[in-house]
Amino acid sequence: MEPFSSLSAIAAPYFIPDIDTDKIIPHRYLRKPLSAGYRNFLFYDERFTPEGEEKPEFILHKEPFRQARILVAGKNFGCGSTREGAVYALTDFGFKAVIAPSFGDIFRANCLQNGLLPVVLPESIVEELSGHLAKYPGAKVSIDLQAQTVVTPDGIKHHFDIEPSRKEQLVKGFDDIGITLEQSDAIAAFEKRYHERLPWLAHGAKG
């Protein structure tokens, strides 16, 4: 995944509580390969008619929100099932971060594992931000992961929390496997010492 350090981008208001992962991507599309373009299925039932026509009133079909890279959502965003496809749909659409008062726990973990930054801010601030974005389309929000701050269009800086290990993972652009491979030399040294101390294990494995 791509490293995340800072971002200044158009933010789209989607301040609706309890959006579950089935609304983010309906389950019927999860059988499709990623090559099908999961961006096409993001919020599908809200974005499109049963005939597959765009609903022009949906926020992501309005300019300039088609270019939004930050989604400002309601509380408990990503609740429901564990489907990782919800994160794939958001990132494939182009989103780099989601700001909300709270997230579904598993959805948040999936975000961090796939390079999508989940930012938690107080509900009153997120609601005010969402209203500003709706009133002034194209307004930008700036996120600095190193400093753990969000600067809203009014110029006010807000701090957010993130676990140090997850922060490092995002800054480096590593998933869990990448983090493990950082310790390749230490793992190889351990295995060498281990087999030197217990050589019979290697012989037993060959037999």
Q: What is the pLDDT of residue 207?
A: 47
Q: How far is CA 141 from CA 8, 31, 51, 52, 124, in A?
A: 6, 34, 35, 32, 16
Given a cut of 60, is residue 188 above it in pLDDT?
yes
111 Cβ contact partners less than 8 Å away, ≥ 6 residues apart: 78, 87, 98, 103, 117, 118
Average pLDDT over residues 94-107: 98
Answer yes or no: is pLDDT of 48 > 90: yes
Q: Is the pLDDT of residue 17 over 70?
A: yes
* pTM of the entire predicted model: 0.85
Mean of all residue pLDDT scores within the chain? 91
Where residue 2 falls among pLDDT bands split at 50, 70, 90?
confident
State mean pLDDT over 49-61.
Answer: 95
pLDDT > 70: percent of the chain: 88
Average pLDDT on 19-38 reads 96
pLDDT category at 131 given cuts 50, 70, 90 is very high
pLDDT at 11: 98
Q: How far apart are CA 63 and CA 61, in angstroms?
A: 7
- pLDDT, residue 118, reads 98
pLDDT tens digits, residue range 77-94?
999 988 899 999 999 999
Q: How confident is the model at residue 189 (pLDDT cuts 50, 70, 90)?
A: low
Given this model, what pLDDT does residue 200 score? 74
Query: Residue 82's pLDDT is what?
Result: 84
Distance from the Cα of residue 33 to its chain's centroid: 19
Supply the DSSP symbol for 130: H
Domains and CATH numbers, the chain: 6-162 (3.20.19.10), 175-207 (no CATH)
134-155: pLDDT as tens digits: 999 999 999 999 999 999 999 9
* pLDDT of amino acid 1: 82
